[in-house]
Structure 1
Amino acid sequence: MKVVISEIPRLMFRGDCMVLASIGLFGIAWFSGQSLKVPAGRWRQLIALASCNIVGWNIFAIYGVSMLPSGRAAILGYTMPLWSALLSVWFLNEPLTRRRLIGLVLGMSGMALLIGAEFEKLGSAPIGVLLMIIAAIFWAAGLVIYKADPLPMSISALTAWQALLGGIPMALAGHALESVEWGRISFWPMFGFWYNVFIGLLFCYWAWNKLVHMVPAAVSSLGSLIIPVVGVFSGMIFLKEVPRWQDFAALVLVLAAIASVLLPPRRTA
C-alpha cells in the first residue's frame, strides 16, 4: 500500500480500487446467476456496513499508514479482534467463552510484542497511531453490524454493493481534491494498484465476508490476526529486514490464538 500511495493519491487510490472491484464482483454474481437485488428494508444496514467496512476503515487506515511504518501500521489495524470481541459481547450477546478469551489474550499479546518493539517510533507519531486504532474500531463495528442481522444476499452481491457504496464517495472526493498523471506512474505502484483491485479487494474482501458469514464474530476476527504477522515476515524476506525475537514470539502467540479458537474441543470419553 505504501508503494502505491507514493505515486497515487490516497483517496483516489482506494476509491478507484473499490469501484473497479465492485464492477468485477457484480459481474461474477450476475454470471453466476445470483440476485443483485438488495432486500426490501435493508438499505440502511447495507449503507451502515459500507460506511464502516469501506469508508471508515479505508480512510483512517490509508492516512494512518502514510504516517507509520507499514508493518507496524498493519499491527495496529489488526487490534480489530479486541474491539470486535468486546462489541460482540455487548451487542450480539455472544458468550466470551474461556477458549475465546484465551485466544484473545494470546493474540493481543503477540500484537503487543510487536508494538512494544517499536514503542518509541509509534510514540513519535501519535496521530498515525490514533488513526489506525480508529480504523480498527470501524472495521470491528462493521463486523458486529453484519452479525447482528445478516443480510439475505449472496456474498458476491453483498461485497459488491459495499464496495460500490463506499467506493463512490471516496473516488469522487479523490478526483475532486487530488490529481495524478496516470501515464507517469511507475511499474510497482501501478502493479500494486491492480493487485489491490483483483487480489486485495475482489478476492480477499469477498473471502473475508464469506468467513464472517460462516462463523461467529469473535472467531472470524481472531483468525485475521495472522495477517500482520505474515506482513512482518514478508518484510524480512523481500525487504531484507533482520528478524527479532519478538517477531518469532508473536508468530507463536498468534498461531496459538487461532488454534485455541478454531480447533475443535477435545471430546471426553
Structure 2
Amino acid sequence: MPDGTSRAAETRAARLSVILLGLCWGFLWVATALALRDVAPWTLRAIGTGLGAATLFVAAKFAGFDLAVPTRERIHVAIGGFFNVGAFHILMAFSQLHGATSRTVMLAYTMPIWTAGLSVLLLHERLDRVRLLALTLCAVGVGTLVWPLFADGFSAFVLYAVTGAVGWAFGTVYMKWQRVTVPPLANAAWQLLSGFCFLLAGTLLFEGLPRLWPISSTSAFAIVYIGLFGVGLAHFLWWTIVGRLSPLTASIGALLAPVVGVTASIVVLGERPTGADIVGFVLIFAAAACVLVPGGSIKGKA
C-alpha cells in the first residue's frame, strides 16, 4: 500500500477514534451515576480506576509502547496522578451523589479555563484575549448555573465539582511546571496506577473492605464499562489520538464529552435542566471551546 494511502487511512481511523473517545467519556458520567446507586463512592472509584489502569497497561503492552519512567520523575507522576485521577474522580463521585449528573458534567469541564488561569500564575503564560474571554464566559456561566441552587442554602455538589475541576487543572499544569518528559501514554498509565493506590487507601480507610454484593446487573455492567471503556480505553484513545492528529481535531474529543454526558443524563437518568442550567451549559461550553480549539494547549479527561 502506498505511504500516502496508508497515512490517509490512519488519519481516518484516528478521526473515528475521536468520536469514540467522546462517547466513552460522555457515557462514563451516566455509568457512574447508575453504579453509585448500589456501590459506595470510594469503592466504585477504586475498582473503576484499577480496572482502567490494568486495561491501559495491557493495551499499551500489546501496542508496543514503552512505559518506562525516569527515576527522578516518578514522584512528579505520582503527584500528578493524585490530582488528575485520585482527587478528581472521588470529588466528582461525591458531586454526583449530592447533585444532578448533568450539572456536575458541565462544572467538571470548566477545567480548561482553570488550567488557563493557573498557567498564567505558574508558567507565566500570557493571558491573551481568547483566554480572557474564556475566563469571562466561564465565570458568567458558572454563576448562571449555580446561583439559583443557593436560594435554599449551600449546595455541596458545587464545591465538590469545582474543587475537582481545579484539582484536575492543577495536576495538568503541575506536570508542565516540573518539566516532566515522560511520554504521554506512559504518563497516563502510571498516573492511573498512582490514583488507584490513593483511592484504594481511601476505600480501606473510609469504607473498609470493598463490597460488591449484592448489586444489580445494571450497576455491575456500569462498573465494567467504567473500568474498561470510560477509563482504560478512553485514556489509550486520547494519547494515541494526540500523537496522530492536529490539536484542533483532537480537542473535539474533549468537547464531545460534556455534550454526550449532559444529553445522556437527560435521556437515561431523566434529568430535566432548567433555563438557568441551559444558559450556564452554553456559556461554559463556549468558554471551554475558546481555550481548547483556537490553538491552545490540549486538555482532556474522563
CA distance, structure 1, for counterparts of residue 231 and residue 126 of structure 2: 31
- Give the alignment partner of residue 53 of structure 1, picking from 71, 74, 84: 84
Contact 2:49 2:196 in 1 (8 A): yes
CA distance, structure 2, for counterparts of residue 70 and residue 102 of structure 1: 27
Question: Residue 183 of structure 1: CA displacement?
Answer: 4.5
The residue identity in structure 1 corresponding to 2:217 is F
The residue identity in structure 1 corresponding to 2:181 is P
The percent identity for this pair of structures is 29
Say what the alpha-carbon RMSD is for the aligned residues: 3.2
Are 1:30 and 2:56 counterparts? Answer: no
Are 1:174 and 2:174 counterparts? Answer: no
Contact 1:226 1:254 in 2 (8 A): no
CA distance, structure 1, for counterparts of residue 77 and residue 38 of structure 2: 32
What's 2:235 paired with?
A: 205
Contact 2:113 2:288 in 1 (8 A): no
Superposed, 1:167-246 pairs within 5 Å as 167-175=196-204, 177-179=207-209, 181-207=211-237, 224=254, 227-228=257-258, 230-246=260-276
- Give the alignment partner of residue 161 of structure 2, picking from 116, 120, 132: 132
Are 1:142 and 2:144 counterparts? Answer: no
What's 1:267 paired with?
A: none
Contact 2:106 2:285 in 1 (8 A): no
Are 1:87 and 2:118 counterparts? Answer: yes
The residue identity in structure 2 corresponding to 1:90 is L
CA distance, structure 2, for counterparts of residue 198 and residue 143 of structure 1: 23
Give secondary structure in 2 for the equivalent of 1:184.
Answer: coil
1:181 to 1:22, Cα distance in 2 relative to 1, 3 A: closer
5+ long unaligned stretches in structure 2: 1-31, 296-302
1:91 to 1:211, Cα distance in 2 relative to 1, 3 A: farther
1:105 to 1:167, Cα distance in 2 relative to 1, 3 A: same
Are 1:154 and 2:183 counterparts? Answer: yes
1:259 to 1:37, Cα distance in 2 relative to 1, 3 A: closer
Give secondary structure in 2 for the equivalent of 1:27.
Answer: helix
Question: Residue 53 of structure 1: CA displacement?
Answer: 1.0
CA distance, structure 2, for counterparts of residue 102 and residue 158 of structure 1: 31
CA distance, structure 2, for counterparts of residue 125 and residue 252 of structure 1: 21
Contact 1:26 1:156 in 2 (8 A): no
What's 2:102 paired with?
A: 71
CA distance, structure 1, for counterparts of residue 101 and residue 162 of structure 2: 14
Give secondary structure in 2 for the equivalent of 1:34.
Answer: coil
Are 1:9 and 2:46 counterparts? Answer: no
The answer to which of 65-74 and 3-12 deviates more is: 65-74
With normalisation by structure 1, the TM-score equals 0.80
Between Structure 1 and Structure 2, how many residues are aligned? 259
5+ long unaligned stretches in structure 1: 265-269
Question: Residue 245 of structure 1: CA displacement?
Answer: 3.3
With normalisation by structure 2, the TM-score equals 0.72
Are 1:164 and 2:193 counterparts? Answer: yes
Contact 1:7 1:185 in 2 (8 A): yes
1:191 to 1:243, Cα distance in 2 relative to 1, 3 A: same
CA distance, structure 2, for counterparts of residue 67 and residue 10 of structure 1: 12
- Give the alignment partner of residue 62 of structure 1, picking from 88, 93, 116: 93
CA distance, structure 2, for counterparts of residue 259 and residue 163 of structure 1: 26
